[in-house]
Amino acid sequence: MTLASESKAALQLIVGAAVTAAATALGRITGPPEEQRAVLLEAIPGVIAYYSEGSSALAADFYDDERERWAPPKLYLAEPVIDDRTVSIRRSVAWASEPLFDADIEKSASRLADVVTLETAKPYRDTILTNRRRDPSAVGWRRITSGGCRLCRMLADRGAVYMDTTARFAAHPSCKCTAQPVFSNSDYGDEASVMQYLASKAKRTPAQKERLRQYLDALYSPPGSPKAAQASLKLRSETEITPAQKAARLRAQLTSLETSLPALKARAANGENLDRPIKWQTDRIAQLRRELKAK
């Protein structure tokens, strides 16, 4: 059964192979810049399409593995998702080709690598998010990162779960983050904060952009830096969930677990090996009852 970190590492291998293939194509072309751009416009979408099949299939397999690990009560089989982005990809390849007109092949190669990285990883993320919306047992998704830039770290902080079905997976060109589905009978913790949802939006007002910048400066700058020294606790308190909100979510999770447990036991009675998820779910129900009683 594949873990989130293992699936993330496998995606990086696929993306790396796609970037190498694109760089090889760029290194082989000759002639005037117009001809070189024309070759790239023809070749690169095909490279991305080939490796996108691998990234989307990898995500579907990981989704099914996560489902098997948690054994939610309703059956569902994930499907790979690859959107038709030919127009957008060709536009990005044209942008990556611009430095060729100044004989700057290194800059063009760097731009091309960013385009291929972003577009090859996108079907993986789209597969997780789309199946999460279709799956009746999924409650959201969380971001999986291994450090990265401060925006990525903020978006993944606290293992936050994005429950809004319209929540976007924010990704920069060299982003290495992936997504993990979260199910109704899993220990999904806290929902994403107001600021995490804001940072995931495709469009933000100038005021929202400034608020996000201040938040990142205050809480995600290197320790000891002047920006970190000016960190404002008020910024964090404004975006964290309240005790009342947390209690409401604990009650919602308890209700979900209590409702789905009989279905799990019925499947086990029919011969499925569900001892592990049933034990976890039973223990989690007891834990949630204790936490709510203490409030």
The chain-wide mean pLDDT, for the chain, equals 89
**pTM beyond 0.75:** yes
Which residues lie below 8 Å from residue 288, measured CB to CB, with a gap of 6+?
A: 250, 253, 254, 257
Segments making up each domain of the chain, as ranges? 4-200, 203-240, 242-295
Closest to 140 in 3D by CA, of 200, 171, 178, 184: 184
Q: Which residue has the tokens 């469009």?
A: 203
Tracing tokens 């579907």 back to the chain, one arrives at 60
> Which tens digits make up the pLDDT trace of 106-117?
999 999 999 999
pLDDT tens digit sequence for 246-287? 788 788 888 888 888 888 888 889 888 888 888 888 988 898
CA 158 to chain centre: 14
Q: What is the pLDDT of residue 238?
A: 52
Backbone angles phi, psi at 269, to 5 degrees: -65, -25
Note whether 199 and 161 are within 8 A (CB): no
